[in-house]
Structure formats: structure tokens, C-alpha cells
Amino acid sequence: MSFEAYKKVVSEKAISALSDYIYKLHKIFQTETEKKEKVISALSDDIYRTLETEIKKIETDILTLDETFKTDANKAEKDISIFEDDVSKMREASQNEIQKIKKEIKNEIKQTLETFQIKIKPIKKHISININQIRETFQTETKKGEKDISALKNDSQICKSGQEHFSQGSNLPSTTNRISALQNSGYSDTETLRNDFIALVDQRSKNEKGGYFTLMLHTLTEEISLSYSCMYTYYNGTTKNPRKTTLDELRKWVNNEKQKNNNLSVFIPINFE
């Protein structure tokens, strides 16, 4: 057999063997494919059944949720309605309470004003009385001041005349003689004490700068432990029965003033320039 013939035979056998092998592989592949298709089909069926079950379960859950939602929604609507009713009732109650409070406040204000008017009425009356008393006192003091100014002018003329007589060796004016007479006076009764007090106050008011009677009495409150009104009423004689303590204070001051005058060797007339 030639080489070519041998080569051809070998080639045919190889091709036949290869063809058989391919056929076997095809069969094996076909068998495996069928198995896989069966497995895939089984898996698909399982997946489908599982999905179908889950879908039904989800649908059931959705229906349950829908029913629950509807129930909750109805309940919420009822709760909202109840809440709105409660709010309305609270609003009405609040309005009623506000009206009640306003009424109570108005009544309290009215009662307070009435009480204030009742309490202020005697105060107004008292103030009115005090104002009238102050006005009367002021008018009295003004008239007294006018009289004092007039008297001071007259005394000024007398003292100037006394100075002229004094420089010529004549007797002192009547005011000076009055003080000199006081230096030897006693206190047999309260009238004598009052006369001495008046004379000394008049003399002191003339000696003080300005010479105002009321200012003089205010100044004396620092020397005598008595009030201005007490000395004023005593000076004018409106106090009928002075207290013993008042008389004692006045005696003490009058004695001190007379002692000062006794220590003067020569009475010096007053200069009203």
C-alpha cells in the first residue's frame, strides 16, 4: 500500500473517529442541556410558585393595611370631631371665664373707687380746713407784720430822737426807759411776766437785723424750749391759762435777758440807719 493510500485510510479513520467523538460530545451536551433545562424549569416553577405565594401574601397584607387604614382614618375623623367639639367648648368656657373676670375686675375697681372716695372725703375736708386755717393765720400774720413795720417806723423815729437827746445828755427814749424799768421788776403775777416778755421781745426784735416780729419769735425757739405758736399766742394774750412748764421756761428766759441788761453800765440806744 502506498503512502498516499495509507495516508488516506488514516485520514478517513481519523475523520470517522473525530466524527464519533463529536457525536458523543453532542449527545453528552444534549443530555446535560436537557438536565439543565429540567433544573431551570423546576427552579422557574419554584420561583413562580414562591412569587405567586408572596404576591398573594402581599395582596392580603395590602388589603389588611387598607382595612386598618380605613379603620384608623374613621377613628381619626371621630377623634378630630371630638377634639373640635372640645376646642369649641373650651373657647366658650374661656369666653365665659373672661367675661366673668372682666366683671369681677370692674366690680373691684368700682369698690376700690368707692372706698377711696369714702376715705378721701374726710382728708379733703381736713385739708380744706387746714388751708382755711393757714389762710387765716397768714392773713393775721400779714396784718401783724404790717402793724410791726408801722410800729418799727415809729420806734425808729423815736430812737433817732433819743440818740439826739442822748448826745446832749438828755434822758433816753421811752423804749429804753421801759427796758430800764424791767431790770428792777418782779413777778408777783403772770401778767407782770407777760408784760416783761413782751417788752423784751419788742426790744430784741428792734435790735435784730431786719426787725421782723415773726422772725424774732422763730429765732427765740432756739433759746426757749417752746414752739413758735406757743410764744405767739402767749405774746398776743390768746392763751388764758398757760401751763406751768410754759411759764417756767418764760421766767427763765426773761431772767436771763434782764441779767444781761443789768450787766450793761450804760444803755446804748438803737441805730436804725
pLDDT of residue 22: 92
pLDDT of residue 129: 76
> How do the pLDDT tens digits run along the chain, 273 residues long?
687 888 788 888 889 899 999 999 999 989 999 999 999 999 888 888 998 899 889 899 988 988 887 888 889 889 988 989 888 898 888 888 889 888 898 888 888 888 888 888 787 777 677 777 777 777 777 776 666 565 545 444 434 443 443 344 333 334 444 444 444 444 447 889 999 999 999 888 877 655 577 888 888 899 999 999 999 999 998 887 889 999 999 999 999 998 887 654 333 333 333
Residue 237 CA to residue 134 CA, distance in Å, equals 20
pLDDT of residue 260: 83
Give the residue extent of every domain in the chain: 1-124, 137-262
CA angle, 184 then 190 then 195, to 5°: 55
For the CA atoms of 215, 216, 218, 221, what is the dihedral angle to 10 degrees?
170
* Residue 263 main-chain phi, psi, to 5 deg: -80, -10
Other C-beta atoms lying within 10 Å of the C-beta of residue 202: 21
211 touches 150 (CB < 8 A): no
Helix 174-182 with 3-167: angle, nearest 10 deg? 100
239 contact partners, CB below 8 Å, separation of at least 6: 230, 233, 246
Residue 186 CA to residue 182 CA, distance in Å, equals 8
